[in-house]
Amino acid sequence: MHDLTLAANALRLLAIDAVQQANSGHPGMPMGMADIAAVLWARHLRHNPADPAWPDRDRFVLSNGHGSMLLYGLLHLSGYDLSMDELRRFRQLHSQTPGHPEFGITPGVETSTGPLGQGLANAVGMALAEQLLAAEFNTPEHTVISHRTFAFVGDGCLMEGLSHEACSLAGTWGLGKLVVIYDDNGISIDGDVKGWFGDDTPARFEAYGWRVIRHVDGHNLAAIDAALQAATQDCGRPTLICARTVIGQGAPNKAGGHDVHGAPLGAAEVAAVRAALHWPHPPFEVPDAARAPLDARSRGAAAQAAWQARFDAFRQAQPERAAELQRRLQGELPPGFEAQCAAQLAAVDQRAETIASRKASQNSLTALAGALPELLGGSADLAPSNLTQWKGCRSVVRAAEGGNYLHYGVREFAMVAIQTGLTLHGGVRPFAGTFLMFSEYARNAIRMAALMRINPIYVFTHDSIGLGEDGPTHQPVEQTATLRLVPNLDVWRPGDAVETEVAWQTAVRHRRTPTALILSRQNLPHQRRDATTRAAIEKGGYVLVQERTDRPLQLVLIATGSELDLAVQAQAQLAALGVNTRVVSMPSCFMFEQQEAAWRRAVLPPGVPRVAVEAGVTAGWRQYVGLEGAVVGIDTFGESAPAGDLARHFGMTVAAVVDAAQRCVQSAAGQVR
Amino acid sequence: MHDLTLAANALRLLAIDAVQQANSGHPGMPMGMADIAAVLWARHLRHNPADPAWPDRDRFVLSNGHGSMLLYGLLHLSGYDLSMDELRRFRQLHSQTPGHPEFGITPGVETSTGPLGQGLANAVGMALAEQLLAAEFNTPEHTVISHRTFAFVGDGCLMEGLSHEACSLAGTWGLGKLVVIYDDNGISIDGDVKGWFGDDTPARFEAYGWRVIRHVDGHNLAAIDAALQAATQDCGRPTLICARTVIGQGAPNKAGGHDVHGAPLGAAEVAAVRAALHWPHPPFEVPDAARAPLDARSRGAAAQAAWQARFDAFRQAQPERAAELQRRLQGELPPGFEAQCAAQLAAVDQRAETIASRKASQNSLTALAGALPELLGGSADLAPSNLTQWKGCRSVVRAAEGGNYLHYGVREFAMVAIQTGLTLHGGVRPFAGTFLMFSEYARNAIRMAALMRINPIYVFTHDSIGLGEDGPTHQPVEQTATLRLVPNLDVWRPGDAVETEVAWQTAVRHRRTPTALILSRQNLPHQRRDATTRAAIEKGGYVLVQERTDRPLQLVLIATGSELDLAVQAQAQLAALGVNTRVVSMPSCFMFEQQEAAWRRAVLPPGVPRVAVEAGVTAGWRQYVGLEGAVVGIDTFGESAPAGDLARHFGMTVAAVVDAAQRCVQSAAGQVR
């Protein structure tokens, strides 16, 4: 094990030298987990640095992402395309070594971590994807999907409520190939965790149905190796290894205290580490003997080659299944998909149904599920309300038995973070629902998916006061507006079944953008459109009702979702009153903003007064209506009452829209120009 | 126990009849928990219906708030000022019986519940407040604070991650007077919970250090009574009673299934319940025999009178302590507080320090803590970063030993929801911090506090790309803007130490509004102000730098927080370029919007072009700058790099502000008017 000690110390030195050079970062965790990392990566992790996208690689997730330099050191020493120069540029602009690991920036980084608990939930999602794909594609003769997921977690991850949600599900699902290593160092930022973290963590995880390996000395290489050996014997349950470590292990004066967590050690202590570890090498120099144990290039190539041979045999035996698996793993849509979409959109239009957009969503996803077997649905215990199930979907109970519908229970945050892990793993295309209000429980995980530029789909129903009697605790007022402010999140609030169909199609087409579908509880009338108008929906904002072209346009009404029909009715009344009005439907501001300026100007001609209508907070619409326009919306919390009463109470009525429109037109006419 | 059975059946009938009448609601939980509720309220809960604000009453929290009719039935039958007519108006506009219990609407409702898990965390906060006040005010001779907190929770509450966070803390703090009754009915909306909730819940709670009373038959009145007897013997640990119940108990055909959860039973099944329970009475009629056991008026009055006698004796012995306790319980600021604020503000101004607003915040709260012993600080394991501790604060370890600083651990959601419980309990004034980014973990609890119109204070630091190297996972871009969209939440982003002091003072003065303080990691220069300007800060938006008054005003720069100084510097450069510019500081849009129109017009004169500057998403500022103005901000995720590099990279520079301002002025001049 001597070489492994060298490798572990190399990881320690790389971390503290990079932090020192950046004058910023977290040395304590990399030093504390270096021994565990060295044993895991040298002896257990099956990966190929030459191909970080190898589908059957083991996944490694650093949930305690502040210890990023540990991961960068591992990737560099293993042979990934991550140069020493990049390590020197730790935490510098546009380096491949940002402060926390970021998916898409660094080869070998499986997910972006830092917000605590989420990496753990991502890992649960990855392990779940592996089991579901294995159940679907492996045969008695051919094993083409078989890999593990390893995650490092700290005290912080396990204090977070998300760890409860994700690990309870992992136990219920029986994710036998998930191995979590708990860095039990007894220290968090406020100091010794005894004062705020009194859990019996092993007992807690046993209560979730996990196998727990207790009392592992995280600085004893043989003990670590034995624990990992045991953990990788599949018993149909996920495994938690509780490894007792010393934060900042190797720092003679600072180890074991919280000062070593998030600040450079300082030149003196760095020198003291060098002395204590007998490490004569200058910063960013690693001797070959320390590199050798972690160098995974040749064994990784061999492992992948062996898998490729298995896959080739599978392809030989079952070419269609192999092609299907490959298509899914590459995240490609099936041939003929666009034609199916066009046919489906025409069919929805022709049905001209007055239905809730949540119901329209169910119809759309039912049609999509036929074309896309990779769809993996779910809901946070609201399947009958979100309408996320479809005929023929099969509930996952034990993951090893497969399925394509997930009962997440009342666990919104885990649902979204697990979807992130499923998406990152590849081969499945997850969507899942809850009430729009409870998207707030999952808020940061939605943001993380947007930041990672991946494409899960969220089905958020019961989207306004239209849900009625459940009252203000359940009535979204500001939620749609706040979701629209998340960069790279496509928020659709469709106004009828036709727009809902387009929203689903767009969501499925996105490769680098997650989508939130904002859907009504209540029925929405069908809007009539010609083929050109129907084709314009995907642009996010388009003219639904054209004004009279023989007179000047006087007003543009902009509306979304359940308020679209209010605008359409108001337009008719305004026309009767002699106000020449256009209705713009704006189901997706995100897509509208991506259109060329010419399109946006054509839809919203400059200089024409505008009134926006949406049953929610008004401030966001000022970017379309300006200071001179008006917004018909709701800037207070809701109330508990039947939906019709609420619409009147909050002024979400045709009369209110007509009134606002007339005042806006009069005010514009009265302005000196 | 016969009368108790009658009382329980009265609760059942009230619930199903009200749901039937509203044609909406949740009969299953009230029917399932009616027996437990009857025993608890008739035999154990110490409360006085005539005075729902009696400070030493037991608290009762219905965390599974969808079962609201159970609570309304209990309140009505106990003798609270909640008439049968109000029960008839269940879920109707402006009734006292909204769909979910709402604090402030219904006498006796201690907290608004519905979003699962939060009531449980509120209850932890209430139980904590009781212990801390008892530790501070009780003496060997005088016990003036001594009451229990009871909470009902369902499967949903216990699946939520929040339950992990809150119950772990309750165990660590040793909240011996907290009794939680788990409605273990095995059913959630998706069906039998076995498929998604495999936890060994008793073992889990024992792992948190709780006393667990297992296997209680929730329909056996004697068994329930015995369990509550045992639970109310204080053992220094919180207690979980696991009560096995049948959802919809009493409904002959629907009991035990998930259909009974959230929809009216239907006339036929309601009739069947009447037959099965031998209940001949029409809807909303309860016979005296069924009312008697729950009627708490005379025993409640006696209990409060006994307490009052104890309190009077305390007042006799220690008049100042008694007055202080009374002041705190009434939520009043101490005499002389305003004078201290004025002196403190002048002192901060005079020091003219260039410091981070998080550091300024620590200085402010240190000064406030001297005046307000009710301040109860805390942080989600970021005390050294949020700077939420002050000299002389004392950490709470075991709640019974008292203290005024809470180490919440890495548990943001519980922190905020526990603060809600602390605030609702009264007698303490909580504030607590985390990084602004992780406010997202607590998002819905912040909203719930705003909805309840209570006044906790949140300290959210590291508020922009200015935090530097930690990168986009930690850099808020949209968070400040999204918080501003929550109704009744006062969001302050102060630009220097003086504004930070005003922000704190305003936050403390609020009685019905929670405040989020958005603070910088990095230093912010002091801005010079005369006394009038200083006094204007509390209006939320004010003129910090006046334009030349001998020429027409050409441009208004609006800025907040760390960008305020960019605006001030840009103003000077623009002046040199001949552009007559004003700088408006807008630390609180919430307070600004509450000012009279004359103030707002004076600060932002109509018709003058405006440019807003804030290191975050731009859309929200359109409500101030309109379509013609400009916003200097950031509409993408951040990057990992030193803060100075990021400011240049994202164009958060004086040069960028000057540039935007000039273009805006030129464009305005070019317009035909």
Catalytic residue selected from A86, A412, A563, A614: A412
Residue A167 has pLDDT above 50, yes or no: yes
- DSSP 8-state symbol, A43: I
Q: Least CB-CB distance to A410: which of B156, B171, B642?
A: B156
pLDDT grade, residue A468 (50/70/90)? very high
- pLDDT tens for each residue of A117-134: 999 999 999 999 999 999
How far apart are alpha carbons B241 and B247 in whole angstroms?
17
Mean pLDDT for chain A overall: 97
Taking CB atoms and an 8 Å cut-off, how many pairs form between chains A and B? 348
What share of residues in chain B are helix, strand, coil (percent, to 5)?
Answer: 50, 15, 40
- DSSP 8-state symbol, A395: B
CB A408 within 8 A of CB A415: yes
- In the prediction, which pLDDT does B672 show? 42
List, in sequence order, every beta strand (DSSP E) within B533-626: 542-545, 555-559, 581-585, 610-613
- pLDDT tens for each residue of B536-589: 999 999 999 999 999 999 999 999 999 999 999 999 999 999 999 999 999 999
Q: In this predicted complex, what is the ipTM?
A: 0.98
Using CA coordinates, name the residue in chain B closest to A121: B161
Average pLDDT over residues A140-169: 98
Using CA coordinates, name the residue in chain B closest to A168: B199
- DSSP 8-state symbol, B66: G
How far apart are alpha carbons A645 and A643 in whole angstroms?
5
* Residues β-bridged to residue B631: B612
Residue A1 has pLDDT above 70, yes or no: no
Mutate to test the interface with B, among A453, A470, A475, A488 (most CBs of B within 10 A): A470
Using CA coordinates, name the residue in chain B closest to A628: B626
Q: How far is B226 from chain A (nearest CA, A)?
A: 26
Residue A96 has pLDDT above 90, yes or no: yes
- pLDDT tens for each residue of B182-193: 999 999 999 999
pLDDT exceeding 90 applies to what percent of chain B? 98
**Inter-chain residue contact B471 with A197, CB threshold 8 Å:** no
Q: Is the torsion defined by CA of A239, A240, A244, A250 positive or negative? A: positive
* Residues β-bridged to residue A583: A545, A557
**Inter-chain residue contact B473 with A488, CB threshold 8 Å:** no
The continuous run of DSSP H or E covering A500 comes out as helix A497-509
Q: Which residues of A touch B474 (CB under 8 A)?
A: 99-100, 114-115
Mutate to test the interface with B, among A382, A418, A473 (most CBs of B within 10 A): A473
Q: How far is B399 from chain A (nearest CA, A)?
A: 11
Mutate to test the interface with B, among A97, A162, A164 (most CBs of B within 10 A): A164
**A285 a catalytic residue:** no
Mutate to test the interface with A, among B92, B164, B411, B479 (most CBs of A within 10 A): B164
Q: Least CB-CB distance to B473: which of A95, A115, A195?
A: A115
- pLDDT tens for each residue of A36-93: 999 999 999 999 999 999 999 999 999 999 999 999 999 999 999 999 999 999 999 9
How far apart are alpha carbons B287 and B284 in whole angstroms?
10
**Inter-chain residue contact A208 with B207, CB threshold 8 Å:** no
Pairing between β-strand A187-188 and β-strand A191-192 as defined by DSSP bridges:
antiparallel
Q: Which residues of A touch B470 (CB under 8 A)?
A: 99-100, 114
- DSSP 8-state symbol, B219: T
- pLDDT tens for each residue of A370-388: 999 999 999 999 999 999 9
**Inter-chain residue contact B168 with A197, CB threshold 8 Å:** yes
pLDDT grade, residue A673 (50/70/90)? very low
Pairing between β-strand A457-461 and β-strand A515-518 as defined by DSSP bridges:
parallel
Residue B673 has pLDDT above 60, yes or no: no
Nearest Cα residue to A99 out of A45, A23, A41, A35: A23
For residues B229, B235, B238 and B240, what is the CA-based torsion angle, rounded to 10 degrees? -40
Overall pTM surpassing 0.95 (yes/no): yes
Average pLDDT over residues B430-447: 98
**Inter-chain residue contact B172 with A25, CB threshold 8 Å:** no
How far apart are alpha carbons A464 and B81 in whole angstroms?
31
Residue A672 has pLDDT above 60, yes or no: no
Average pLDDT over residues A424-448: 98
- pLDDT tens for each residue of B472-482: 999 999 999 99
Catalytic residue selected from B160, B412, B563, B614: B412
Q: How far is A500 from chain B (nearest CA, A)?
A: 24
Q: Which residues contact A176 (CB under 8 A, 6 or more apart)?
A: A131, A234, A235, A236, A237, A238, A400
CB A494 within 8 A of CB A544: no
Using CA coordinates, name the residue in chain B closest to A451: B637
- pLDDT tens for each residue of B295-317: 999 999 999 999 999 999 999 99
pLDDT grade, residue B671 (50/70/90)? low
- pLDDT tens for each residue of B147-179: 999 999 999 999 999 999 999 999 999 999 999
- pLDDT tens for each residue of B583-606: 999 999 999 999 999 999 999 999
**Inter-chain residue contact B487 with A617, CB threshold 8 Å:** yes
Using CA coordinates, name the residue in chain B closest to A111: B473
DSSP B450-477: HHHT---EEEEE--SGGG-TT-TTT--S
Q: Which residues of B touch A470 (CB under 8 A)?
A: 99-100, 114
Q: Least CB-CB distance to A640: which of B99, B440, B640?
A: B99
**Inter-chain residue contact A444 with B441, CB threshold 8 Å:** yes
**Inter-chain residue contact B437 with A115, CB threshold 8 Å:** yes
Q: Which residues contact A666 (CB under 8 A, 6 or more apart)?
A: none
Q: Least CB-CB distance to B25: which of A171, A208, A469?
A: A469
Residue B374 has pLDDT above 80, yes or no: yes
Q: Which residues of A touch B444 (CB under 8 A)?
A: 437-438, 440-441
pLDDT grade, residue A484 (50/70/90)? very high
Average pLDDT over residues B263-270: 97
Q: How far is A423 from chain B (nearest CA, A)?
A: 19
- In the prediction, which pLDDT does B103 show? 98
**Inter-chain residue contact B198 with A209, CB threshold 8 Å:** yes
**Inter-chain residue contact A203 with B199, CB threshold 8 Å:** no
Q: Which residues of A touch B94 (CB under 8 A)?
A: 639, 641
Q: Least CB-CB distance to A198: which of B163, B171, B451?
A: B171
CB B524 within 8 A of CB B354: yes
